[in-house]
Structure 1
Amino acid sequence: MTGDDFGRLIYLVLLATVIAGYFLLSHRRRLGQVAQQAAIWGLIFIGVIAGFGLWSDIRNDVAPRQTVFADENRIEVPRAPDGHYYMTLRINDVPIRFVVDTGATDVVLTRDDAEKVGIDPQSLQFFGEAHTANGAVRTAPVRLDVVELGPVTDRNLRAFVNSGEMRESLLGMAYLNRFERIEVVRDRMILTR
């Protein structure tokens, strides 16, 4: 600890003592209630510090994320708490979150995601049809200029924009089949190219 750090510590201790002393003197008739409130705020403060300190340990359980091993052209995707696999791809340099759907044939973008990557949904012609769990929906074919997943880059990828409501874009087999190997090991999907 340097001299400046030690001086700051002394200043903070004196400041805290003055504030606590003033607070206790001004509320001396209700010291029991003041002590109870101070204990509650102290526990809240300790809880916040503990949560912040433990975040690195619990982060993967709360918000699992894909891991890229660039030197091996391998991507590991953890299974989310809802049982699905989610991947974030950069399309035209814009990060888009997909739900991996091995039952889907194609890559299907929501209208919002299409707009984010520079496709105007109003100018599309929805003449295709896809059969989903919610019934038939109209689709419009598009080409994605650049699709990046870690070290893997694909160009001019065929995809579709859904005319209906979808919560998230779907990453189907048209993209997944570009990988040499797809395996599911326990709670991780591993893609290798």
Structure 2
Amino acid sequence: MSLAEIWSTLAGVIAQIPRSGLLVAVLSALVAGWIGAMMVRRRVPLGRFVRSASTVALACILVTVVLQLSRFDSRMDFAIPEMGMPQQSVEGGETRIPLAPDGHFWLSAQVNGQPVSFMIDTGATLTAVSDSVAARAGLEPRRGGIPIRLTTANGTIAAQITTIDELRFGNVAARGLDAVMAPNLGETNVIGMNLLSRLKSWRVEDNTLILVPNNPQPVVDAQ
């Protein structure tokens, strides 16, 4: 194999690596640890320091990943402000969403002031938005966010985490909400369990989905 072919193959492999600041940090720490180990073996000054710094960096990255994953679970909300990321909150009053003819619950919402149609999906861990919605609402990938892989009807795709400053529908207002965006996600936007789990309760009665935040107010239809 020629040098050009080797470089071409290597470039193809690198292109498949998710673009994540955390992944780059992990690779850098691993390389630093290897260099530190070589320095220690050859009794080069500061070798132990380099190796120890690599271990500390990997530990910090692990803590960051665990805390970011904890954002998917509303029971861990107490740990999030310490990371400097916005706390996810869902406030407002009871909102009722009628069952649509296609058998799903749809609602009209606003994402950072932009009108967006969402489907409620209790099987989705995270709220998800299409690329077009992300562009209109000014959503950007979170720096240092963990890489996400989603399984869709078209196969497994790479996705990125973003933060929705404000999502409103009916009497409900969600702020600091994590969401997924991916180029091949399609045009269907989804409300996931990271929003629903932060309500006081949600239930279905007479083909109507009833969302109850922690601050009850007059009932409003979401359509």
> TM-score normalised by the shorter chain: which range applies?
0.5 to 0.7
Report 1 or 2 for greater relative contact order, CA contacts < 8 Å, sequence distance ≥ 6.
2
Residue aligning to 2:156 = 136
1:159 maps to 179
Which piece of structure 1 moves more, 140-149 or 104-113? 140-149
Counterpart Cα distance in 2 of 1:153 and 1:177: 14
Q: Deviations over 1:109-149 (max 9, x none)?
A: 1001111111368x9x9942112344312111101111222
Instruction: Name the residue aligned to 2:115.
Output: 95
SS in 1 for 2:110: strand
Question: Is the contact between residue 174 and residue 195 of structure 2 (CA under 8 Å) also seen in structure 1?
Answer: no
- Residues paired across the two proteins, number: 121
Between the aligned partners of 1:82 and 1:150, the Cα distance in structure 2 is 21
1:112 matched residue in structure 2: 132
Unmatched 5+ stretches in structure 2: 1-91, 214-223
Change (3 A) 1:76 1:112: same
Greater gyration radius: 1
1:173-188 to structure 2, matched below 5 A, reads 173-188=193-208
> Deviation at 1:163?
2.3
Distance 2:122 2:153 in 1: 14
Give identity over the alignment, percent. Answer: 28
Instruction: Specify the SS of the correspondent of 1:164.
Output: coil
Unaligned runs of 5+ in 1: 1-71
1:93 is displaced (CA, Å) by 1.0
Q: Is the contact made by 1:140 and 1:163 (CA closer than 8 Å) also made in structure 2?
A: no
Displacement of 1:152 after TM fit? 2.6
The separation in 1 between residues aligned to 2:196 and 2:111, in whole angstroms, is: 15
User: What SS does the corresponding residue of 1:80 show, helix, strand or coil?
Assistant: coil
Cα deviation, 1:19-45, whole Å, max 9, x if unaligned, reads xxxxxxxxxxxxxxxxxxxxxxxxxxx
Work out the CA distance in 1 between the residues paired with 2:140 and 2:195.
22
1 CA distance for matches of 2:135 and 2:163?
Answer: 13
TM-score, structure 2 as length reference: 0.49
CA 164–151 in structure 1, closer or farther in 2 if over 3 Å, else same = same
1:81 matched to 2:106: no
> How far did 1:165 drift?
4.0
Q: CA deviation at 1:167?
A: 2.8
Shift of 1:184: 0.5
1:145-156 → structure 2 map (5 Å cutoff): 145-156=165-176
Q: Mean Cα displacement is larger for which, 110-119 or 151-160? A: 151-160
* Moved >6 Å (runs of 4+): none
Match of 2:211 in 1: 191
Task: Give TM-score, length-normalised by structure 1.
Answer: 0.56
- Is it true that 1:168 corresponds to 2:168 in the alignment? no
Deviations 1:36-80 (A, max 9, x none): xxxxxxxxxxxxxxxxxxxxxxxxxxxxxxxxxxxx811110111
- Is contact 1:126-1:163 (8 Å) kept? no
